[in-house]
Chains A and B, each alone.
Chain A
Amino acid sequence: MAYTMAASLAAAGSGGVFGLIGTQLSLPGRAAIASLLALLGLAVGVLDLGSSRLSVLQCDRETPQSWMRFGALRWAAVNGAMLGLGFTSRIGFWLWYVVPAGSLLLGDPWLGAAIYGLYGFVRSGAIWLLVSGKLNRVGRGEPSDWLIMQYGRAQTVTAAQLVVLAAATVLIVGF
C-alpha cells in the first residue's frame, strides 16, 4: 500500500510541477515544441517497430538494494516514489518520455498531475496482481519470469502507441 501510494503521489507531484512549468510557456511555444517532439516520436516509433531499434536514453539501473536497510515500510515508500518518478531508474521504452513531456506541454498542473499520477499508479500496480496470485495462471513458471519474457511484445505495443500518439499530435497541433 505504501509502495503504490508513494509511487502515485511522487508521480502526481512531478506531473504537477511539470504542468506548472508549462504554464510559463506560451501556447504557440508549447504547440511548436509539441509538433517537433511529435515528429521525433513518429520517427523513433516507426524505427522501433521495425528492426532498427534505438537504445533508450535512461539511467540503466534498478533502485538501490541498500535501501532495504530502511525497513520494509520505508523501503516500500522510497522505492515506490522513485519508480513513480520513473527517470531515476530503468525506463525501458521511448513511450515513457510522453508522460513528462505531455505533463509539461499541456500547461495545466492538474492535468499534468493526473497523467503522471496515473502512470505512477499503474507502474506500481503489478505488485497487486502478483500478491493476489492473478498472474499465476498465465504461464508455467514464476509469474515474474513470465512478465520479463513479455518484454519484446511490450516493446512492440509501446512503439505502436507512440506512433499513434505522435501522429494524432501532428494532426491536432500541427495544423
Chain B
Amino acid sequence: MARELLVGEALLLGALAGGIVRTAAVGGVGLVILLAMSAVVVGIAQQTLP
C-alpha cells in the first residue's frame, strides 16, 4: 500500500517536473491533494508510536 502510494506520488511529481501540470490552478490542486495525503500518512504512521 505504502509502495503504491509513493509510486503514485512519484508519477505526480514527475508530471509536475515535466511541466505537464505546471499551471497555477492545477498545481495548487495537486499541492492540496499531496497535503491531504501527508495528513493521512502521518496519522497512520503515528499509530506506531508507543
Report the contact-size class of chain A (Cβ under 8 Å from the partner). Answer: 35 or more
A164 x B16 contact (CB < 8 A) = no
Main secondary structure of the interface of B (DSSP, over half): helix
Main secondary structure of the interface of A (DSSP, over half): helix
Q: Given A157-B45, A168-B12, A172-B28, A148 and B50 touching (CB < 8 A)?
A: yes
Chain A residues near B10: list those with CB within 8 A: 164
In the complex, chain A residues 91-118 whose Cβ is within 8 Å of any chain B Cβ: 91-93, 95-96, 98-99, 102, 106, 111, 114-116, 118
- A92 and B37 CA atoms in complex are apart in Å by 17
A119 x B22 contact (CB < 8 A) = no
A95 x B35 contact (CB < 8 A) = no
- A92 and B34 CA atoms in complex are apart in Å by 20
- Cβ contact of A161, chosen from B12, B17, B32, B37, cutoff 8 A: B37
Sample 9 A-B pairs with CB under 8 A, ordered by A number.
A91-B46, A95-B41, A98-B39, A119-B42, A151-B49, A154-B45, A157-B2, A157-B6, A158-B45
A-binding residues in B (CB < 8 A): 2, 5-6, 9-10, 12-13, 16-17, 22, 27-28, 30-32, 34-50
B-binding residues in A (CB < 8 A): 90-93, 95-96, 98-99, 102, 106, 111, 114-116, 118-123, 125-126, 147-151, 153-155, 157-158, 160-162, 164-165, 167-169, 171-173, 175
